[in-house]
Structure 1
Amino acid sequence: MKETIYLTRDESNIIKGILILLIVLGHNHFLMDGEYVRLQIQLYKFHVIEFFILPFFYKMKADTSWEHLRDIIVRNWVPYLWILSACYLTSCIYFHKIGLEWGHISAILLGTQTHLSKYYNFVFPWFLPTYCSFFILYLLSLKHKWLYGIMIILSVVTWGCTWEEFYWFKNTMPLGIGLAIGYFAYGWMASALNSLSAYMKYAGAVVFVVINILQFMDIRVPMGNTLLVPTFFLLLLALLPHLHFKWLKTIGENSLGIYLLNMFIINILCALLPNNLITGVFIFIASVCLSLFISRCINKRMFLKRILFPSSIKDIKNCFNTK
């Protein structure tokens, strides 16, 4: 029996809520240090990539009009540019060094972790240009089936690259396109596996748990890191009926704001507080709550929302019209 699942908005936000909590956990220096560093390494193998699987479970039209693509660019690149400005100012203050060079401009255009880390001393903004490129490619591939096939093939090819080869590939392609291509087939795989049977999500959940156990035991699992990504999404689908909490949905609705703000809060708190487990738990809770509070404050003020988190070019044009 085949099953096609399309997530509702609430279900999507619940999944986003879980993912952003895992991302904030991975950013926490106190909780993910020392004996827990392996947990951080394991998290980074799959948690952010799950956001690139979500569109494969949305029921959407293949709208590739310039107006729609332009709004996608605005939605991602406006937050990207202002958060990079904040990263630059923070870096200047922390290192007592001010200066702009071509590398800062090229880092913006390339949008990869390596370049952003080198010139802005922050890594996390990479997600926005990469997701923008990915989503545009995904919409184009929905309209042109030949492109869909090519994207899957190219993505799978990157899985066979050595670390050095993929490192070169993703850092050479502009606008995060290299990573966007590399992540494309994960969504296709998760969707294809889930459509095989109504019980496939439970099988995927078991596979995810088994792979993690074996990897923590230092037992090599062929294609283990690759399988972690789609099987974790299947695990989320299996758990979804039991996760309908309003607070989790609220976190998911504000996932972008939390993603962009939590690193600043975590770094400040880590600099002020002693490094121990209890403090780490406090910082995790505080960083989620504070970034959620700020994000909700921004979203409730139309002027700030239109300037910082615009949904379309119309928001930019009307940002001074709050009526």
Structure 2
Amino acid sequence: MLKQDSSSIKGFLTILIIIGHNHIVAPQSSPLMAYLYTFHVVCFFILPWLYDNRKELTINNIGNIIYRNWIPYMIFFAFSLGVFTLFEGKHPNAAGVFSAFVTGSQKLLKENAGFFFLWFLPTFCTFSILKLGADNKKWMLCLLTVLSIITFWVPWREAEWMKNNLPFGIYVALRYFVYGVIVSLMLRWMEWTKYVGATAFVWLSYLYWTGNINWYGIVMMPIAGFMFIISILPLLRMKWLRAIGNYSLPIYLTHVYIYNALELVVPNTMVWGVLALIITVIIAYIASVIIYKIDFIRKLVFPRSFKEWKGLLKF
């Protein structure tokens, strides 16, 4: 996949995520919010399977994956904890904070740091390491695919326990693993299968909005949703979407704070919700561009490797 196309997809998915976090446009527990969460975040875990630049399984490459995810995770976790503590006006529970940080559990992050969106970083880090191993070792690909399929048959209570107790978001990372395997295999087999998937997405969406979708339909939504997105890719090749996609991670990590600040002052109406959505995207994009323009801050918060981050300590 071309880098520009990847950026367009990331930009589109980032917009969907920001919509899902907007409590006016998509209130918590609303049908729209639940609908978006059936596919939009998982698509970020499918996209890397379409990249051509596979890397070798080396300590250096594993380390770079960890640094690129865990350094911003630590920084934004500390910031979120500080904001949460300030507004709550009470001392955080040390054991709870530690558990939330290590597990990357959405539930524990929400309870102990005030925001659950940070789960993505440790989970995506674990997923990326698993994929790196699978790209280089066929037996790992087979084993991880089987284990990923098994996660769908784990009872709800046990699944929730694993989400909230296993470290580094490993359960969710493993669960999402098979989606990318299926999509990549389908597209390599016959590229036209993306249109079949897109058609399935339209049908599953109809079933969702009419209240007739079942568990199997929900499970298939990420695959069908991703196929739909790449089917309409020619429509997504817009400069402004690519621009957002180029800064998808910093936009993802900053937009929540921006929107929550706006939510304190804007009226709770759909018009203001949409306006807040647009303002959130614009401010998050500008902030992200500034972060990347200032080389010291970019290397500090979003290092590409440990060597790059370590170089800052010389000053």
Partner of 1:98: helix, strand, or coil?
A: coil
Q: Could you tell me which residue of structure 1 aligns to residue 152 of structure 2?
A: 159
- Does structure 1 residue 67 correspond to structure 2 residue 60? yes
Q: TM-score, normalised by structure 1?
A: 0.94
Consecutive aligned runs of 4 or more in structure 1 exceeding 6 Å deviation: none
Partner of 1:77: 70
Equivalent pair of 2:152/2:175 in contact (CA under 8 Å)? yes
Assess if the C-alpha contact under 8 Å between 1:171 and 1:178 holds in 2. Answer: no
Counterparts of residues 220-299 of structure 1 (less than 5 Å): 220-221=213-214, 223-299=216-292
Matching residue of 1:33: 27
One-letter amino acid of the structure 1 residue matched with residue 160 of structure 2: Y
- Structure 1's unaligned 5+ residue stretches are 1-6
> Hey, what does 2:42 align to over in structure 1?
49
The amino acid that maps onto 2:131 is Y
Q: What is residue 15 of structure 1 aligned with on the other side?
A: 9
Contact residue 194 and residue 234 of structure 1 kept, 8 A: no
1: CA distance, partners of 2:27 / 2:102: 32
Of the structure 1 ranges 53-62 and 267-276, higher mean CA displacement relative to structure 2 is found in 53-62
The residue aligned with 1:95 is: 88
SS, match of residue 168 in structure 1? helix
Establish whether residue 184 from structure 1 lines up as the match of residue 177 from structure 2.
Answer: yes
Contact 1:205 1:231 in 2 (8 A): yes
Q: Is the 8 A contact 2:103 2:169 kept in 1?
A: yes
Deviation, structure 1 residue 203? 1.1
Cα deviation for residue 100 of structure 1 reads 4.9
1:193 is aligned, of 186, 194, 198, to 186
Q: Read off the aligned partner of 1:31 and give its amino acid letter.
A: V
Deviates more, 1:232-241 or 1:121-130: 232-241
- Whether contact under 8 Å (2:10, 2:44) holds in the other structure is yes
Task: Find the aligned partners of 2:13 and 2:224 in 1 and give their Cα distance.
Answer: 14
| Structure 1 segment 212-227 matched on structure 2, within 5 A | 212-221=205-214, 223-227=216-220
Report the equivalent of 2:300.
Answer: 307
Name the SS for the 1:160 alignment partner.
Answer: coil
> Displacement of 1:118 after TM fit?
1.7
* Counterpart AA for 1:187: G
Tell me the number of residue pairs that the alignment of Structure 1 and Structure 2 aligns. 315
8 Å CA contact 2:10, 2:245 repeated in 1: yes
**SS class of match (1:31):** coil
Q: For residues 222 and 177 of structure 1, do their structure 2 counterparts lie closer, same or farther at Cα, with a shift above 3 Å needed?
A: closer
Which SS does the other structure have where 2:257 is aligned? helix
Question: Tell me, what secondary structure is at the counterpart of 2:91?
Answer: coil
Partner of 2:139: 146
Letter of the structure 2 residue corresponding to residue 53 of structure 1: I
Contact 1:28–1:280 (CA under 8 A) maintained in structure 2: yes
1:105 corresponds to which of 95, 98, 120:
98
2:65, 2:286 → 1: CA distance?
A: 25
CA distance in structure 2 between the partners assigned to 1:194 and 1:227 by the alignment? 16
Query: Which letter maps to 1:29?
Result: H
Q: What letter matches 1:30 in structure 2?
A: I
Match of 1:208 among 189, 195, 201: 201
SS at match of 2:292: helix
Separation of aligned partners in 1, 2:213 and 2:241? 35
- Residue 175 of structure 1 corresponds to 168
How far apart, in 2, do the equivalents of 1:320 and 1:272 lie?
40
**1:172 Cα deviation after fit:** 2.3
Match of 1:4 in 2: none
CA contact (8 A) 1:265 1:291 kept: yes
RMSD over aligned CA atoms reads 1.6
TM-score by length of 2: 0.96
Q: Secondary structure at the match of 1:132?
A: helix
Q: Are the aligned partners of 2:12 and 2:236 in contact in 1 as well (CA < 8 Å)?
A: no
Structure 2 SS opposite 1:319: helix
Rounded to whole Å, the distance in 1 between the matches of 2:249 and 2:42 is: 15
Tell me, what secondary structure is at the counterpart of 2:264?
helix
Would the alpha carbon gap of residues 218 and 98 (structure 1) be closer, same or farther in structure 2, given more than 3 Å must change? Answer: same
Name whichever of 110-119 and 312-321 sits farther off: 312-321
For 2:55 and 2:288, the matched residues in 1 are separated by 30
Identity %: 34
Cα distance in 2 for residues equivalent to 1:149 and 1:176: 21
Measure, in 2, the Cα distance between the counterparts of 1:134 and 1:197.
Answer: 26
Offset at residue 195 of structure 1 (A):
2.5
Offset of 1:114 from its aligned partner? 1.5
